[in-house]
Chain A
């Protein structure tokens, strides 16, 4: 198991170097110039432009800027935002818990609903449940997030007034963040009603963000289950006279879970993409919105270091998935 883990870890090194290149190159490939964007309609004199570019280090050749970036990374320096002039790592650490909380809740909702729905749909293949749930999943998968989010806000927040429109907690609660996870911080604050408020603010955005992963997980579980249920060992188990709950729950599901867990792991990437839109609609102060703002302002240090940090998080999750995979499936860890 340790060798398996170390092997996986070794793979991360070239991946990480590749990511530094992509993260660095991506925003520079886009047309646009942060200095010009700062000046806006007013314009900026060529001398002042050169002066500012030099001050920000943009006058150096691109490879030299890249090496500077790598050099600073080695020292744990992620650079300063061009816009707020604050360290990128500080901003990331302030905003990341909000995205992590939203993402964790969303993926939990997706898995808790998606897996059972997929299993039932597979077991009752061709039934009305199968058809309705799989059609709904297809719709969910094709749903434009922005429109879906607004629709839910109009229904639940404006018309029914069950949930607040946006934000993380009611404005009347005011406490210093400890973990950055609002559900935990609201409990720690000891203020009455804070936790309920945080929860009610989280429901809609988490549902919106969970929509696509839920659809994918449900469909993947169904097809994995169908495949497994056709296997010889399932037939053997049935032939031995095992109860069908046991056959499905122990023999089939455990084997079907292998591709499903991979899918859940892969959804973390999708989740990041969804978070950008979800955070914008629900005024959720996370890293998705932060990245979008920074890209549109060509805030190079934020985009490159931000992408790198996000990629590192996704890699970490994938590593965990790989390890879980090894735990469930002995064949893989012995390969």
Chain B
């Protein structure tokens, strides 16, 4: 604490010398990873978005803080045509672009910026499509924007119309994602003229709550409050990301008062953090799921009875206690309970080795031996896959199933686990991108995603299930969609292509004097609402 107080005092002294208001508030975030760049469109890492999309930029629509609900962003309101293929956005007036040493905007945000922000990603003829050689727009293409957006029409300076090729109800949630951040066309033109296009990725200009100041690679990112911000002004004056990759060191820095807040504590440290009187801990159910995906196309796993029998052999609570240190809840559905349309009436297959044995006998399976794939990396949804696999192995042995654990290098793991005819069941998981059930169910379990290049690692193609998803995607009414997804979850549980394992809890440790931080179910770290108590 001593250090922090000292630095804060000194920092405010420095700022005063620069004719800044006295007692500037500096908030230090010990971030985990270095940003890949500051243009949100070409990247996919959460750490990059925390450093670019969230502080510096806005989207047409935004996720309401702490939720996955959509609220107006740079678009004040929007109309959707009756057939769901035309979205007309009415843009906010008087939104000022930020400035830096190389650029002073001459105009406010308008429709040209919106069109530029999308066109540069989708149109390979746009001169900004390849402004750095080799960049690609992976989120734009994986959210199917190229086939979805037919055209974007400028109605007037403050109205744009998106014409879609088909009705797509998750569309608004998709464009609230970081890749759809609105960038300044005027800034792009100015850099083009100056011949320094790469600065678009190094010195971002946005409309967001903070202005980018400087980045020292792998060390520090600095931001300053955007005094002209159109929304509620941030309560802190300066925001600093101190990049600290190791979780144990991040915690030491937090304890020593060198930062105010940190992401991703090690599960083993949670108890100690709770006991520390200078710290507090926010927690929230994560928007994630971990699972064991059977290969439903090979014998005997093509029989739902066998899959259900294995699910019943598994003591999931024991896995959560041992591997997640209790920080999670048993999953029964493929989507997490915090997501709308979660079917809470579904009953999970109970842990019952005897019933499991009986079911296996009924299915005519004797002396079954199988492989369990354990992923080699940690993920927020799975802290230790090897240990999880070992516990499963022991559980399976109790019902007479012999399991062998295999693992591969991460890239190989992802590739081999999607090869048709794969031998064994795969441990993996998913964290939601935008809070829409479609982002779990279609991506992970639809017939289309069972094809090469998809992510349906059970290779499970159930027509009835996939039809429900397609119908929901084309339905605008949320109540109607909820019903369809609830039905889909019933089919899922009945067919059991996965053993659903866990929805892990996310923790954010911070110093006691931090107020106003809102955890995001999407795992974003945003600081426009935080404050430091006096």
Q: CB of A171 within 8 A of chain B?
A: yes
Q: How far is the CA of A236 from the CA of B152 in the complex (A)?
A: 94
Which residue of the partner chain, among A154, A174, A177, contacts B222 with CB atoms under 8 Å? Answer: A174
- B198 CB → nearest A CB, Å: 8
Establish whether residues A32 and B411, one from each chain, have CB atoms under 8 Å apart when the complex forms: yes
* B-side interface mostly: mixed
Establish whether residues B201 and A283, one from each chain, have CB atoms under 8 Å apart when the complex forms: no
Q: How far is the CA of A161 from the CA of B430 in the complex (A)?
A: 41
Q: How far is the CA of A287 from the CA of B429 in the complex (A)?
A: 32
0/1 per residue, A72-84, Cβ < 8 Å to B?
0000000010111
Chain A hits for B243, CB < 8 A: 283, 285
0/1 per residue, A142-185, Cβ < 8 Å to B?
00000000100110011001001111101110100100000000
Chain B hits for A167, CB < 8 A: 219-220, 242, 258
Q: How far is the CA of A290 from the CA of B36 in the complex (A)?
A: 12
B interface residues, how many (CB within 8 angstroms): 61
Q: Using a CB-CB cutoff of 8 Å, which residues 300-327 of chain A contact chain B?
A: none
Segment of A34-42, A112-120, A226-234 engaged in the interface with chain B:
A34-42
0/1 per residue, A41-72, Cβ < 8 Å to B?
11111111100100110000000000000000
- B230 CB → nearest A CB, Å: 28
Q: How far is the CA of A41 from the CA of B379 in the complex (A)?
A: 11
Q: CB of B496 within 8 A of chain A?
A: no
Establish whether residues B220 and A171, one from each chain, have CB atoms under 8 Å apart when the complex forms: yes
Establish whether residues B44 and A290, one from each chain, have CB atoms under 8 Å apart when the complex forms: no
Establish whether residues A84 and B36, one from each chain, have CB atoms under 8 Å apart when the complex forms: yes
Which residue of the partner chain, among B135, B258, B408, contacts A164 with CB atoms under 8 Å? Answer: B258
Chain B hits for A46, CB < 8 A: 452-453
Chain B hits for A41, CB < 8 A: 414, 428-430, 455
Q: CB of A241 within 8 A of chain B?
A: no
Q: How far is the CA of A85 from the CA of B255 in the complex (A)?
A: 36
Q: Which A residue's beta carbon lies closest to that of B433?
A: A42
Q: CB of A281 within 8 A of chain B?
A: yes
Q: CB of A94 within 8 A of chain B?
A: yes
Which residue of the partner chain, among B36, B409, B418, B430, contacts A32 with CB atoms under 8 Å? Answer: B409
Establish whether residues A43 and B453, one from each chain, have CB atoms under 8 Å apart when the complex forms: yes
Establish whether residues A161 and B3, one from each chain, have CB atoms under 8 Å apart when the complex forms: yes
A164-B258, A283-B219, A289-B245 given as contacts; is B240 within 8 A of A171 (CB)? yes
Q: How far is the CA of A95 from the CA of B451 in the complex (A)?
A: 43
A44-B453, A85-B201 given as contacts; is B249 within 8 A of A150 (CB)? yes
Segment of B6-14, B183-191, B361-369 engaged in the interface with chain A:
B6-14
Interface band, chain A: 35 or more
- B302 CB → nearest A CB, Å: 22
Which residue of the partner chain, among B244, B408, B443, contacts A283 with CB atoms under 8 Å? Answer: B244
Establish whether residues B453 and A170, one from each chain, have CB atoms under 8 Å apart when the complex forms: no
Establish whether residues A157 and B256, one from each chain, have CB atoms under 8 Å apart when the complex forms: yes
Establish whether residues B411 and A298, one from each chain, have CB atoms under 8 Å apart when the complex forms: yes
Q: Using a CB-CB cutoff of 8 Å, which residues 104-144 of chain B contact chain A?
A: 132-136, 138, 141-142
Most buried by B among A36, A37, A158, A172: A172
Q: CB of A31 within 8 A of chain B?
A: yes
Chain B hits for A40, CB < 8 A: 44, 414
Q: CB of A91 within 8 A of chain B?
A: yes
Q: How far is the CA of A166 from the CA of B412 in the complex (A)?
A: 35
Residues of A at the B interface (CB closer than 8 Å) are 30-34, 36-49, 52, 55-56, 80, 82-86, 91, 94-95, 150, 153-154, 157-158, 161, 164-168, 170-172, 174, 177, 193, 280-283, 285-286, 289-290, 293, 298
21 A-B pairs within 8 Å (CB atoms) are namely A30-B409, A31-B411, A34-B411, A36-B411, A37-B414, A45-B453, A84-B37, A85-B37, A86-B37, A86-B198, A161-B256, A165-B249, A165-B258, A167-B219, A171-B11, A171-B242, A281-B246, A283-B243, A285-B216, A285-B218, A293-B34
Residues of B at the A interface (CB closer than 8 Å) are 2-3, 7, 10-11, 14, 26, 28, 34, 36-37, 42, 44, 132-136, 138, 141-142, 198, 201, 214, 216-220, 222, 240, 242-246, 248-249, 252-253, 255-256, 258, 408-412, 414-415, 418, 428-430, 443, 449, 451-455
Among all A-B residue pairs, the 9 with the closest Cβ atoms: A45-B453, A32-B411, A285-B218, A285-B219, A43-B455, A172-B11, A165-B253, A283-B244, A36-B411
